[in-house]
Amino acid sequence: MTRTLPVVNEDEVLFWKGGADGKLHFPQCRQCQYIVHPPAPVCPQCYGRELGETTVSGEGTVATFTINYQPWVPDMQVPFTIAIVALNEQDDLRLMTNIVNIPPEKVEIGMRVSVVFEVCDEDIYLPLFEPMKVSV
Ligand SMILES: [Zn+2]
């Protein structure tokens, strides 16, 4: 798929490039443990200025989604699913992403999903989500 890549600011390097190890990385407040996303210079919960780093399970739930049918740029493959995924670790830790490896018409709100990374130019690891594999 042809993608328009993000311009990565200094405070977003952790998010866009941390996926090299297969995990989602976020800043985390050292004082109250709140996971901060999108990146901010202070914790939005307690205004603590000391932010550390944490990784999460990469598992979450589809909070809402829409299906895009419009090829906005040449070579864009449609349809595809644009979703907001709420991660397990914190209800307001939500990512705007794509749901992949499933036909768009099968995606449902509440569906359990897990992260997969698409490796792009400039060492950007785009976090996408696919249906969670059910273990038997
Ligand atoms: Zn805090």
Closest to 107 measured CA to CA, from 126, 82, 87: 82
Q: How far is the CA of 88 from the centre of ligand 1 (A)?
A: 19
Q: Report the predicted TM-score, pTM, of the whole model to 2 decimal places.
A: 0.91
Q: How far is the CA of 50 from the centre of ligand 1 (A)?
A: 8
Q: How far is the CA of 101 from the centre of ligand 1 (A)?
A: 36
pLDDT surpasses 90 at 5? no
Tens-place pLDDT, residues 69-116? 999 988 889 999 999 999 999 999 999 999 999 999 999 999 999 999
Distance CA 79, CA 10 (A): 33
**Alpha carbon of 58 to those of 43, 88, 127: distances in Å?**
22, 8, 9
What is the reported pLDDT for 64? 98
Closest to 15 measured CA to CA, from 112, 128, 125, 130: 125
Cβ atoms within 10 Å, residue 59: 16
